[in-house]
Homo-oligomer: A and B are copies of this chain.
Amino acid sequence: MIKPSILPGFMELLPEDQMLFNKVKDTIRKNYEKFGFIPLDTPVMEKSEVLLAKGGGETEKQIYRFSKGDTDISLRFDLTVPLARYVSQHSNDIAFPFRRYQIGKVYRGERNQKGRFREFYQCDIDIIGNEKLSIMYDAEIPSVIYSIFKELNFGDFVIRINNRKVLNGFFKSLDIEDVSEILRIIDKIDKIGADAVKEEITALGVSADIVEKIMSFIALEGNNDSIIEGLKALKIENEAFTEGIAELEAVTNHIKYFGVPEENFAIDLKIARGLDYYTGTVYETILKDYPSIGSVCSGGRYDNLAGYYTNQKLPGVGISIGLTRLFYQLREANLIKTDGNSTPAKILVIPMDDDTSYSIEVSKTLRTAGIECEVYFEKGKLNKKLNYANKLGIPYVILIGSDEVETGKLTFKDMKKGEQSKLTVEEIINQY
C-alpha cells in the first residue's frame, strides 16, 4: 500500500476552495475576453534550446528540465517566453496588434517555503505590435486591471504607474550609469523607509547632493497632474526623460476615458518592476487592505518581445496575475471567503422510495431550465441524505415520495432557512 500524497510545494484544493478558485479564474478570463484578448494554449513542455534561448538568469536553476529519448525538454517557467516563441513562429498567420491572453500553469522548482508554489497559474495578457505599438495600449491595460479587481471585490486597490524612460533619463542626467542597484534600494522604500533608503544609496558612494536629488525625485507626490508638472519643472535635458514624461502624461490622461476612477490609479516614481525587461510604462497593483502581499498584478511595456527568435521587432505591453500565490495569500488573510458551496449543484433531488423514475424526470426538467442539480440515489435514512446536501452546501432539496408523484406537488426545502413548502416543478423553476 502506498501512502497517497502529493509533492511538496504543490497546491491542491478541496472542493469548496476549488470552487472559489475557479470563480476567481473565470472572472479573470471573462474580463480578458471582454477586452477582446484571444485565448492561447501553448504546450506545457517545450524544447529546452527554445525555452532557454535567453539563457542564464536566476530562473534557470529552478527549471524542470529532463531528457526523454534524445530530446532535451523543459517545462515552461512563465507564459512570456512561449508567447515570444509563438508570435515569431506564427507571425504570418496572426493579425497585429496581437492581443492574447493565456491562463495556465507554469513550473519553477523554487525553494520550498510557505506561500511559494512550484506549480502555479499565471494569467497573462499582452498586446504585441509589429515594429511599433501605440502608447494608447499602455493606457488600456490599467482598465483591464481595474475591471478585474473591481469585480473580484477584494477591497480597495490602486494601480501604480511609472515609466522606465523617466527613471533611466533621470539617473542618466545624474551621470549614474548602473541604475539597477539604486532602483533595487528604492524598491524597498515601503518596507524600510526613506531614511534607510538614503543611507543605503549613500553607502554606494553616491555624493550627498546627488542623493538629495534622488530623494526629492522619488518624493514627488500629489495627484498625477502635479507629479507630471513636478517632473517637467526639473528641466532635465535628456531625450529619454522627456519622452518618458510625454508617455506617462498620455497614459494617465487617457486612463480615465476607459472608466477607471481617479482613486484607482496613481503615478508612483518609485516602482521599476524588474531591471532588464521593461523599457517604458510599468504597472503594479496594490490591495489597500493588504499592501504587505505586494503587487497582485504587474507588468509593463517592452521594446522587443522575441529577439532570440526573429529579427522582426515586436514591441508589446502586458500584465500578469500570479493566481495561485494570490489565492493562497488572500485565503490566509481571510480576504476572500467561500460561500460554502462545494459543488455547482443548486438543487439535490432526493427520492424517498425505491422508484426513482419521477425524481429523475424532475432533475431532467430542472436541468433543461438551466438549473444545476443532481439526484441522490443511495439508500439510507433521510437525515443522511440531507447531510449530504449540507456537507456540499447545496442550497435547496426536493423530496419526492409517492405523495409527490401522485399530486405533482414536490416538497421543496430551503436548506439555509430550514423552510419547507409544496411546489410544482414549474413553480420551483419560476421562483428559483
Contacts and interface: CB of A to CB of B under 8 A. Distances in A.
Contact of A372 (B13, B35, B64, B68): B35
A1 interface: yes
Interface string A126-152: 000100111011011001000100000
Instruction: Give the number of copies in the complex.
Output: 2
Interface in A329-374: 342-345, 348, 356-358, 360-361, 363-364, 367-368, 370, 372-374
Given A109-B68, A309-B3, A41 B14 contact: no
A107 B44 CA distance: 10
A66 interface: yes
Given A43-B6, A258-B360, A99 B367 contact: no
Interface stretch (A47-55, A178-186, A289-297, A424-432): A47-55
B38 A18 contact: yes
A237 interface: no
Interface string A100-142: 1000010101000000000100000000010011101101100
Contacts of A47: 5-7
Contacts of A45: 7, 10, 64, 107, 119
Interface in A79-94: 84-86, 88-90, 93-94
A195 interface: no
A46 to B, nearest CB: 6
B10 A43 contact: yes
Nearest to A346: B36
A71 interface: yes
A22 interface: yes
A368 B147 CA distance: 10
B36 A345 contact: yes
A357 B37 CA distance: 21
A310 B68 contact: no
A19 interface: yes
Contact of A129 (B11, B22, B73, B378): B378
B2 A49 contact: yes
Interface of A: 1-7, 10-15, 18-19, 21-22, 33-47, 49-50, 53, 64, 66-69, 71, 73, 84-86, 88-90, 93-95, 97, 99-100, 105, 107, 109, 119, 129, 132-134, 136-137, 139-140, 143, 147, 254, 257-259, 306, 308-311, 342-345, 348, 356-358, 360-361, 363-364, 367-368, 370, 372-375, 377-379, 388, 391-392, 394
